[in-house]
Structure 1
């Protein structure tokens, strides 16, 4: 008889999701089966739950979503030799081909054939998940399940902040959702001289201050451009980490960056954004970087190091815990912006 498990399924092409009983996935010869201990809700999951324009164009229900997790290996395939039953693990969520030009030149994070767990194939909002062994990241057993589950999004923040030089520079983090908050902490740990955090949510701005922001600005109560001009002696900030995806905020980011500065964009705008390329990029000599995923596995090493050293503490932003069956409570908090990171426990 097929073993069954509980899972959060994006069952319809509409807002919402359902808790269903589904078969436990099989473990292939080059795969491992993992008992999920903690899984956290990402902004991408919120896009999918809300069924916005991006998710409508990308995902194909029905399937299990979710991609951030930690767990324990309970079965290994016949061809898996570097991972053992009982190992504490998380996973790189980009499953790549290994043979395209990008994979062959050390850029697997932008593989042309990437499949993302919980987006293009079944994910981890479930009691079990089966994944290729090559995607598994072994965790220190002393790392709590909760902290281990947020390494994937923390890796996004690490990749965004450390895509260029940060030490001694001024940094603006636009959008203080969970990954933006992590970016604040990474920038602090990396020696940024000053960190400006922008958002429209007082709850998250308070968290940004706890994470190390030197200046927190509510973008409806103060003009972000005026604040930056005043506080940088009209020079602008050296680095902008764009985490909001809002057209107005993105435009402000390009206007506040200094000549020769860097704008790294992790956010996913749901529609095209208008930017003054001539004046805010070309004439300023700005470097613009699209950030996707994590460098495999350089970013994972950096992320694990920052956590183990204590220089980055994710505890302040893990604000809520729910049973997997109560997933709707977590999504509602995310949609309202009344939380940091929400962790579900199968």
Structure 2
């Protein structure tokens, strides 16, 4: 077993990252050592790479970042009995305490003591990663490494879209980054009658249409509220999935949702957003839900089922592959928005 590995390290509290040689992490009694086969770049990783206000307040360099991956188990701790060497796995990236009120009542995804790999502790932009065995999800060996690596973010999309009834309803996905693109596919698979996809990037709007969007809308070329009003006969959309984090887009989401509708917010605005609570929430009687992580492990079962059944095909939104050494090219694409999901291969 090798003693050192390549890893992308957030070395200091500044923009950028470095490829370094670091020790391979040791495997504890209840932990598993995994050889990373594919790891995908998330919007959160871009926040950390850019070193914006959110990451400055949360992240403590130096450490290895990255949290979406698939890999092969190469070593298990002496107390591990749920996975074995050779298993293909992905991971629930929220490491929870198990004893707070949320964990004790089946809501571990909102554990008050959550630590996230690649954010609060070393992550998976590396050749190897160590995780608690209870966080692992065993994959079908037939599932390609790249598709297996996007199950964690797909879980965000599933949790956002399926936090209420979808069948027969109109859905607006605001922000067509990779998770937004997957949300489009999930909404269609769940029986949405019409899916609107809003973005400012033509490339991603084309991907949204490929993923199943009925009405892609470039929000600088067409007014989103006018489009929704016209195409819903003035009623508004039943469900808004907010993925952009942009204050203007978020406000448009609250204005386009129908009375009694739902707004599910996954995005992370970097600063406070002003919302007309009186007119756009209270008087409309809508449900507003913040989405964090994935329900453990209900959402993982849903993701696995959608992929294995072919109801959601994530291949069109996986657009680029790079070796780990070329990570800067991947981040450059993410920053420009001229990509879907970018996969790094250690």
Q: Distance in 2 between matches of 1:278 and 1:61?
A: 42
1:147 aligns with 2:147: yes
Cα deviation code 1:105-154 (max 9, x no counterpart): 00000001000000000000000000000000000000000000000000
| Residue pair 1:155, 1:294 contacting (<8 A) in 2 also | yes
Aligned positions of 1:307-318 closer than 5 A: 307-318=307-318
Which residue of structure 2 lines up, in the alignment, with residue 22 of structure 1? 22
Which residue of structure 2 lines up, in the alignment, with residue 328 of structure 1? 328
Report the TM-score, using the length of structure 2 for normalisation. 0.99
Which residue of structure 2 lines up, in the alignment, with residue 267 of structure 1? 267
Which residue of structure 1 lines up, in the alignment, with residue 165 of structure 2? 165
Which residue of structure 1 lines up, in the alignment, with residue 295 of structure 2? 295
Which residue of structure 1 lines up, in the alignment, with residue 78 of structure 2? 78
Q: Distance in 1 between matches of 2:255 and 2:191?
A: 24
Moved over 6 A (4+): none
Secondary structure class of the residue paired with 1:120: coil
Cα deviation code 1:231-286 (max 9, x no counterpart): 00110000000000000000000000000000000000000000000000000001
1:50 aligns with 2:58: no
Which residue of structure 2 lines up, in the alignment, with residue 115 of structure 1? 115
Which residue of structure 2 lines up, in the alignment, with residue 60 of structure 1? 60
Q: Distance in 2 between matches of 1:344 and 1:13?
A: 23
Aligned positions of 1:179-194 closer than 5 A: 179-194=179-194
Which residue of structure 2 lines up, in the alignment, with residue 106 of structure 1? 106
Q: Distance in 2 between matches of 1:82 and 1:334?
A: 36
Which residue of structure 1 lines up, in the alignment, with residue 97 of structure 2? 97
Shift of 1:81: 1.1
Q: Distance in 2 between matches of 1:5 and 1:114?
A: 27
Cα deviation code 1:296-321 (max 9, x no counterpart): 00000000000000010000000000
Secondary structure class of the residue paired with 1:61: coil
| Residue pair 1:8, 1:17 contacting (<8 A) in 2 also | yes
Q: Distance in 1 between matches of 2:137 and 2:318?
A: 21
Q: Distance in 2 between matches of 1:212 and 1:82?
A: 37
Q: Distance in 2 between matches of 1:28 and 1:285?
A: 50
Shift of 1:82: 1.5
Shift of 1:2: 7.9
Cα deviation code 1:144-181 (max 9, x no counterpart): 00000000000000000000000000000000000000
Secondary structure class of the residue paired with 1:109: helix
Which residue of structure 2 lines up, in the alignment, with residue 126 of structure 1? 126
Structure 2: state its 5+ residue gaps.
Answer: none
Secondary structure class of the residue paired with 1:153: helix
| Residue pair 1:11, 1:17 contacting (<8 A) in 2 also | yes
Q: Distance in 2 between matches of 1:182 and 1:50?
A: 24
Which residue of structure 1 lines up, in the alignment, with residue 176 of structure 2? 176
Q: Distance in 2 between matches of 1:2 and 1:206?
A: 44
Q: Distance in 2 between matches of 1:80 and 1:13?
A: 36
| Residue pair 1:76, 1:84 contacting (<8 A) in 2 also | yes
Aligned positions of 1:177-326 closer than 5 A: 177-326=177-326
Count residues in correspondence.
Answer: 346
Q: Distance in 2 between matches of 1:31 and 1:117?
A: 14
Secondary structure class of the residue paired with 2:312: coil
CA RMSD of aligned residues (A): 0.8
Q: Distance in 2 between matches of 1:201 and 1:326?
A: 24
| Residue pair 1:2, 1:23 contacting (<8 A) in 2 also | no
| Residue pair 1:173, 1:241 contacting (<8 A) in 2 also | yes
